[in-house]
Structure 1
Amino acid sequence: MGRKVGELRGEVIEHLWVRRRIRQWISIGFVLGLLLGAAAAAGVAALYWPEQDKPLKMTMREGEIPVKAPAVLSGPATLTAQGLSCGIEWITGTHAEHFAQGRLCRVKVSIANNSLATVRIANLEQRLVLPDGTQLAMDLESMEIKRQLREFTLGASDTLVEDLWFDLPKDVTPTAILLRANPETPQGRAELPQKDWSRK
């Protein structure tokens, strides 16, 4: 009888040991599954998530030439001049038309927010640089007609493309544009391509 009790006890202990090992392997398999799932998700995100250090590249519109200047880092935002169109005599919008005092110049700019918080973009800070060093503010009437914002908040990790409009003296070719996110962030300079815009 004592031997049978001993054998039974041994079988119970062995059974409990096997169950414990099975639970351990299940736990290990569950953790490994989580790790593999996280690695796969990270791999997919890396394939589809845009890289922050590569500015968004745009196709050029008719009469627009590409700007190849490096991006401007202004606080948490990266501002990149993408395209330039000058020598424009007049523009039209949904409710108005506007004739330039000299000639209008349009600079296409992409703005990327590199942070996980919102950033304020104050377009009134942008300046067009003329050959004599004059810094020209934006033409507000053109901005209104073309429905471009003077100031806005850019969401975390968002990118926006906009047009900045300037009215400069006739037959003058701009040399650069000064860009910054807002008055509290650094200003940077992007050189603009040179072209005789009277012969577009």
Structure 2
Amino acid sequence: MSAIAQALPVIALPAIGQAFGGGFFSGVTVENGQRYLNITAGAAHELKGTWGARGVIIEGAGSFTDSRSNTESMAGAGSELAQKVLALEISGYTDWAIPARDVQELQYRHLKPTSEENYCWNRDGDNPNSLPVGLLYTAEFPAQTAIPAFRDDGEEAFMGSWYRSSSQRSADSAFTMTFDGGNQGNIAKNYELRVRPVRRELLID
């Protein structure tokens, strides 16, 4: 068990995939010693778009955990995709964002739609900011989700394609993840990809 996990008390959490907070509970991240419940929007709220212009560093868009801060920085720099996500209102909640890299990893780890083997060729799955800490994927782990709605052809399932995160990699690219095998990479900012919005709530002991 990690030092972070040992230092934090255990309390009851929603079940993975449970309807919660305007979407579905998809896991816990830790930021500055605080735990956050991450909530994934339903499939009906997916968007497609570009991250932004290539060749420009956007200040404030480098967090691996703070999806909202990244998205606000993107929107302030003119990203139409980020502006659309920030304008969402789902079940009365208006704090939606493009998932940061480690928040997006939880979406795949817990809600993987396919039964295909994972790529696991790089540092796919490495997530020091989740609780429990994410380890490198194997071909078999994570397995296809047991939640029917998120399996292939389920009404909430992710598509077997690339999804954007809000975490900037460089002036030219941002972190992405493919949901047909869990490959975590980075793709040019001006390519149009899918986004599944998220929001989070502070976990109060």
With structure 2 as the length reference, what TM-score do the two structures score?
A: 0.23
Computing the radius of gyration over CA atoms, which structure comes out larger, 1 or 2?
Answer: 1
Instruction: Give the structure with the higher percent strand.
Output: 1
Instruction: Give the structure with the higher percent helix.
Output: 1
With structure 1 as the length reference, what TM-score do the two structures score?
A: 0.24
